[in-house]
Amino acid sequence: MGRFKALGALALLSVVAVAAICWGFGYNWPDNVHVDYGLPLVWGVHTLNTIAGPVDRWSVNITALTLDLVVWLGLILCASALLELTGRRG
């Protein structure tokens, strides 16, 4: 595999990792409108509306954010090592 293909694959995986951590999934329940951030673990919840009325409340779980970063950065490192090993054989 060429060096440019490997760099392209790592760049694509990096973009996917950033998007997975920053992308919000909105939930419009009748008594709780909120946006969840993080994939595979939800590390942040932005509550927009409750049964009592509009709010602007953030709940952040630092442990889940750390584990999300470990998962995605570990995936990038594994992909980098795999691309390096397959590049040496060919």
For the record, the structure tokens of 89 come out as: 């054989």
Domain boundaries, the chain: 3-89
Q: Look at residue 71 in the predicted model and tell me its pLDDT.
A: 93
Q: Look at residue 1 in the predicted model and tell me its pLDDT.
A: 55
pLDDT in tens, 45-67: 999 999 999 999 999 999 999 99
Residue type, 12: L
Taking the CB of residue 28, how many other CB atoms lie within 10 A of it? 10
pTM: 0.81
Residue pair 6/83 in contact (Cβ under 8 Å)? The answer is yes
Residues of the chain where predicted confidence (pLDDT) is lower than 50: none
